[in-house]
């Protein structure tokens, strides 16, 4: 099972059915028996779990085990003058982190129970009431970035939104400090290579290649690059970067589509004493050759944008005159293959209509939960997400429910 390998365990004997226990040796060579369902629920070696129990007991810190906070059950809950949730390797961990933050708890994540001075790290975090601690395994320190905390910059429920995903300090001294910037327009969101997930993955990979610690990802979603207006994540990034930071962007067009804007951004980054790396060019723009290529690329991007804009305007005008203007169908509908005069533009998509019916039924089952929690429940129920999405998001779900009259 993948979860056993991820935890560093070895499967000695696999259970033949759900009622029989697996025999497993954990990464600390403790042998134990456990049901498959318990593994999927996040349970693991009792002796390893005792490590955290013993540390908290030694520190005279009162705690509750397996207590429910908000929508999730947490293995360790500390409440009082200091509020902390301690998480091990659990499913839905990122959702649990967000839920904990929303309920005013600080977070401690322990992925390495054998980490040096683990007790001291936990004590200092709780004593200083720090917002976040992640004890990583050394060999997987760069395997996944630590930007688990989020900050919304407005329009959270809109198709146009800006957010920051960031890692808590202090940052490692022996690694470059990296900041990523991502932008997708409404059109680009559905194109391979420009999605939020694809851009984030490339930036994370680039940070690992350069021995960099990714301390923040600034995201403008559904916002055109043709203007600096309303790009709140970009504005926030420019205010937060510090001397020596490496700003990593997938392509010139993600940063700006006008040469003037592009050069203004680059000049500001240079004055801050930072570096700008464009992944598609594999080039540090702060070098002399980089500046020259950047100017040429920026001019090309602006030229292509202006040409595309003129073409789109011409096509749209033609379609309006002929009555053939067709728009992207909302969820539950699809384009009508019949293009004859008088035929409807959209027709029912029966597969998507089935999903809408399931949403309606599930809403009756969970009538009082918030839209955010309801979207989580749809993912738990494994309801097929809309079109190219990997999971249900509350903004998309809210739009569908409003259109379909689902309260």
Confidence of residue 315 (pLDDT cuts 50, 70, 90): low
Residue 344: HSE in the Cβ half-sphere, 13 Å Cα cutoff = 7
Share of the chain above pLDDT 70, in %: 78
Query: Residue with structure tokens 């040429």?
Result: 296
Q: Note the pLDDT of residue 106.
A: 92
Q: Note the pLDDT of residue 140.
A: 41
Is residue 244 predicted with pLDDT exceeding 80? Answer: yes
Alpha-carbon span 100 to 163, nearest angstrom: 19
Q: Note the pLDDT of residue 133.
A: 85
Between 27 and 350, residue with greater pLDDT: 350
Give ∠ CA 202-280-220 in degrees, rounded to 5: 60
Q: Note the pLDDT of residue 230.
A: 81
- According to CATH, the superfamily of the domain at 149-300 is Resolvase, N-terminal catalytic domain (3.40.50.1390)
DSSP-assigned letters across all residues of 61-75: ---EEEEEETTEEEE
pTM of the model: 0.46
Picking from 38-52, 183-197, 336-350, which range would have the lowest pLDDT averaged per residue? 183-197
CATH of domain 2-140: 3.40.960.10
Is residue 335 predicted with pLDDT exceeding 60? Answer: yes
Q: What does the pLDDT look like over 212-242, one tens digit per residue? A: 899 999 998 888 766 777 889 999 999 999 9
Give ∠ CA 42-43-45 in degrees, rounded to 5: 135
Q: Do 2-140 and 149-300 share a fold?
A: no
Contacts of 166 (CB under 8 A, 6+ apart): 147, 149, 150, 151, 215, 216, 217
Strand partners, 183: 220
Q: Note the pLDDT of residue 139.
A: 42
Picking from 142-156, 216-230, 286-300, 312-326, which range would have the lowest pLDDT averaged per residue? 312-326
Query: Residue with structure tokens 């918030």?
Result: 370
Contacts of 116 (CB under 8 A, 6+ apart): none
Q: What does the pLDDT look like over 12-50, one tens digit per residue? A: 888 888 889 989 887 667 788 888 887 777 677 777 667
Q: Note the pLDDT of residue 117.
A: 86
Spell out the domain ranges in the chain: 2-140, 149-300, 348-404
Q: What does the pLDDT look like over 115-135, one tens digit per residue? A: 778 899 999 999 999 888 888
- Contact (CB, 8 A) for 165 and 217: yes
Strand partners, 74: 67
Confidence of residue 158 (pLDDT cuts 50, 70, 90): low
Positive or negative, the Cα torsion across 100, 105, 106, 109? Answer: negative
Kindly state the average pLDDT of the residues 59-69.
Answer: 90
3-state helix vs strand vs coil in the chain, percent to 5: 40, 20, 40
Is residue 279 predicted with pLDDT exceeding 80? Answer: yes
Q: What's the full length of the chain, in residues?
A: 407
């Amino acid at each position: 099972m993948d979860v056993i390998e991820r935890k560093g365990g070895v499967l000695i004997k696999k259970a033949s059915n759900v009622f029989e226990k697996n025999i497993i040796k954990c990464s600390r060579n403790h042998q134990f028996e456990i049901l498959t369902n318990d593994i999927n629920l996040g349970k693991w070696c009792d002796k390893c779990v005792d490590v955290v129990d013993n540390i908290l007991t030694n520190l005279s810190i009162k705690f509750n085990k397996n207590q429910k906070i908000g929508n999730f059950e947490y293995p360790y809950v500390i409440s009082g003058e200091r509020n902390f949730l301690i998480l091990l390797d659990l499913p839905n961990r990122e959702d649990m982190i967000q839920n904990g933050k929303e309920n005013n708890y600080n977070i401690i994540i322990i992925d390495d129970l054998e980490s040096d001075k683990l007790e001291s790290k936990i004590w200092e975090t709780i004593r200083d009431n720090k917002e976040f601690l992640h004890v990583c395994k050394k060999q997987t320190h760069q395997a996944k970035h630590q930007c688990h905390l989020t900050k919304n910059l407005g329009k959270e429920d809109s198709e146009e939104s800006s957010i920051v995903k960031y890692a808590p300090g202090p940052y490692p001294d022996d690694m470059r400090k990296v900041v990523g910037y991502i932008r997708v327009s409404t059109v680009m969101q559905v194109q391979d290579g420009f999605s939020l997930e694809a851009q984030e993955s490339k930036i994370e990979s680039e940070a690992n290649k350069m021995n960099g610690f990714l301390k923040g990802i600034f995201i403008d979603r559904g916002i055109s690059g043709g203007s600096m207006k309303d790009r709140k994540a970009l504005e926030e990034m420019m205010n937060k970067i510090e001397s020596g930071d490496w700003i990593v962007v997938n392509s010139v067009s993600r940063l700006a589509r006008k040469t003037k804007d592009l050069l203004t951004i680059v000049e500001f980054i240079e004055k801050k004493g930072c570096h700008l790396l464009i992944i598609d060019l594999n080039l540090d723009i702060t070098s002399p050759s980089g500046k020259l290529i950047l100017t040429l690329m920026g001019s090309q991007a602006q030229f292509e944008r202006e040409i595309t804009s003129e073409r789109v305007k011409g096509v749209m005008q033609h379609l309006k005159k002929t009555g053939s203007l067709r728009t992207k169908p909302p969820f539950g509908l699809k384009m009508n293959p019949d293009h004859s005069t008088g035929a409807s533009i959209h027709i029912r998509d029966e597969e998507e209509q089935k999903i809408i019916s399931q949403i309606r039924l599930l809403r009756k089952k969970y009538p009082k939960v918030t839209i955010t929690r309801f979207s989580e429940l749809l993912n738990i129920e494994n309801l097929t997400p809309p079109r190219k999405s990997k999971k249900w998001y509350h903004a998309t779900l809210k739009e569908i429910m409003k259109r379909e009259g689902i309260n």
